[in-house]
Structure 1
C-alpha cells in the first residue's frame, strides 16, 4: 500500500458522465459490439484544409518550436477581438479584454480559482456541463443548482434563490446555446441575468462554444450584447465546434479587463500556451474563408432532421433543437427515471452510446443526449438498433 494520501479536493470528482460512458463503451467493445458513439460532442468533421495547411507549414519553422508566452499571443488576441467585433458589433481591447486558452474548458474550470474563496457559492445550471462544477469544487467552493427545465424554456428562475444562498454567492455560470438541452436564451434573459449579477455583486461567466450553430436563421446572442460595457461578465469561446478543431485545443476568453487579468495571472502559474503553429492555424480559421462554418452548420442541421425523423418512425418523438450538435430526448416508458441504466443497456446490447441525462444534473433525469457526430448512414443504423432495443 502507498504511504501517502490524496487531496480531499478530489472527493467530489469521483465520477462524471463521460467517464461512466467511456467505461460502458469499453465493456461493449470487449464483448465484440461495433460501437456507434453518440455520447461525446467531438465532431467527426475535419478541420478546414486552409487551417491544416498553415499548421503543417509551421512544423518546418524551428522558430515555432519553443514556449509561447502571453506577449507572443498578441497577434491571435488582435484577430479574436476583430472577429468578435465583426460578429457582434462591439469593440474589444485585445490587450486587456482577450485571453488565449487551451480550450474554453480550461477557462471555465480555472475561473472559480480566480474569483471564489473556499466556502463561497457558485450558481450553476441543472442540467449543465460537468466541468463547470469541477472547477468550483477544486476552488473549495460550494454549488447551488438552478433548475433549467422545459417548463421555463430551459431558463433558470433567479427569483427562487434563497437570500441566505445569495449572501454567500460569488459566481453565476450560464451557457447558451445550452449543453445539454440545446436551448437558446433570448437577449432579454441575458439582460435580466446581467442586472441580477450587478445587484448581487456576482461574476457572470458565459460558456459560449456554439455561437455559430444556430439553425434555420436563429440568431445566437452574446452576453456582451446585454453587458455592453463589460462590467460583470466574461465569455468563453472555442474553435472546437465552428471549425472542427477540438483536438487542437484552442479557445479564448473575452470580458471584463479585471477578470481577464485575474485569469491570466492564474494561467501563468499553470501552463504556457499551445504550439505556435496551432495558433497560426487558429488565426487562419478566424480570418480566412468562412464557408466552412456554414457547411458545418448545415451538416449538423441535416443530421438533426435525419435522426429525429428516423426515431419518429418508431414512435419516439423528440423536440427539434434550434442549435448545437445534440438532441435532448425525453425518454420513453419505462425509462423516465432510469437514464443511466438506459444508456448502459443500450450500448451493451446494441453498441449505440449516448449520454444519460442524470450525468448533467438531477434535473436531467428522464432525458438522454445524443451527439450528432456521424453521417447519415451511421445515424440511420443507430436509429435502427435503438428501434430494436425499444421493441424488446
Structure 2
C-alpha cells in the first residue's frame, strides 16, 4: 500500500522515539523512572472532578456539542482572562474551545499558510508547531534560541527573502523545553516586528501559571497587542489544572483568526463531551488554591533535582518557570543527545528527552520533566551519576 509522502517527515518524533526506548528497557527488566514526558502526575481538583461526575448523570450532556452550546464555557474563559490580564475579550468572536492547545497550534497553519509560505518557528521548540506547518505545505524558518540570548530569538537575523514569504510566527513563553521566560518588552518588539511585516503572531501559552517568581508573572501576548490586531494565543488546562487527559483548552485572539481556525475545526471534529467543559468551568471559577499548590510542588521538585545534579558536578541553571530542567550535556555526549538518552534508559531505567528532538539547536541538551516526587528525582540523579 502506498501512503501519502507527507507522512515521511512525521515518521519520528521525540516522544514516540523515547516511548520505544522505554519499552525496550522494560523488556530487559529495568524499572522505569520516567522524566521524558511533561504529563503531570498530580490529580485534578475534587471540585473539577465533581462537576464532571454530576454531568455524567444528566442525559442532556450526552449528545454532540456544537459551538453555540459552548457559550457558558466561553463566558467563563472571558471572565477569567479579563480578570487575569485586564484585557477585554468578546466570547462570541474572540474565543474558541479546543481539544487541548496542541490541536489549535497544529491546525492553525492550515488556516494561515498557503503551500510555500514560511512559518517562523522557535528552535528548539514544541514538535506540534513543526508538524502543523508541514501538513499545511508550508516552509519552516527556525529561529535559533541560544543561552547567550536568554533563549529568545533575534528577529534581525531573519533573512529578507524569508520575511517576504513569511505569514506566521510562533512564540511560546514560558518556553518548553528551555524553561525561559520572555519579558513584556520582548513581546512588544515581536508585535511591532510582525505588524511591520504583516505576519500573524501566534503565542502558545500552556505554562502561564507555572512560574516561580511571585511578583513577575509571565506576560500574555495581548498585553502587547491589546486590540488583537495580529495575534492569537493558546491556553490549556493540562498544566495549571492537571487535566492533561481531559484534553481541554482554548484560543483567544483576533476575530478573523478565530473564525478561520473554527472553520478548520468544523471539518475535523465536534467539541468535547459537555461534562469536560463543565469541569473546566469549575476550574476557572473555583478556588485557585490547587494551582498555587501545583506550582509549589514543582518548585520543591525543581530545587531537589537541581541540588542533586549540582552534588554530582552537573552544573545546570535553576529554571524560573515550567515543569522542566534544560541541561547541557557533559562530555562526551555533547553532540549526541539521542544516544545519551537511549543508553541511559537501557542502563539505568531513567528516561529523559533528547534535546535534538526539539530542533537542531537542542542538540547537546536534554530535558528533564519534574513529574516525580523529590525522593524519586534524587534517586534518578544517583542512577545518572553511576552512568556518566
1:386 maps to which residue? 384
- Give the TM-score, by structure 2 length: 0.99
1:208 maps to which residue? 205
1:65 maps to which residue? 62
1:258 maps to which residue? 256
2:85 maps to which residue? 88
1:344-381 CA distances to partner (integer Å, 9 max, x unpaired)?
A: 00000000000000100110011100000011121111
1:166 maps to which residue? 163
Say what the alpha-carbon RMSD is for the aligned residues. Answer: 0.7
SS of alignment partner, residue 307 of structure 1: helix
Corresponding residue to 2:320 among 297, 319, 322: 322
- C-alpha distance in 2, partners of 1:55/1:209? 22
SS of alignment partner, residue 268 of structure 2: coil
Q: Give 1:1-392 correspondences, 5 Å limit.
A: 2=1, 5-217=2-214, 218-390=216-388
- C-alpha distance in 1, partners of 2:218/2:211? 6
1:87-139 CA distances to partner (integer Å, 9 max, x unpaired)?
A: 11111100000000000000000000000001111000000000000000000
- C-alpha distance in 2, partners of 1:31/1:232? 52
- C-alpha distance in 2, partners of 1:136/1:376? 38
- Give the TM-score, by structure 1 length: 0.98
The ranges of structure 1 where at least 4 consecutive aligned residues each deviate by more than 3 angstroms after the TM superposition are none
SS of alignment partner, residue 212 of structure 2: coil
- C-alpha distance in 1, partners of 2:47/2:115? 46
- C-alpha distance in 2, partners of 1:377/1:214? 22
The alpha carbon displacement at 1:333 in A equals 1.2
- C-alpha distance in 2, partners of 1:229/1:53? 37
- C-alpha distance in 1, partners of 2:230/2:188? 11
The alpha carbon displacement at 1:216 in A equals 2.7
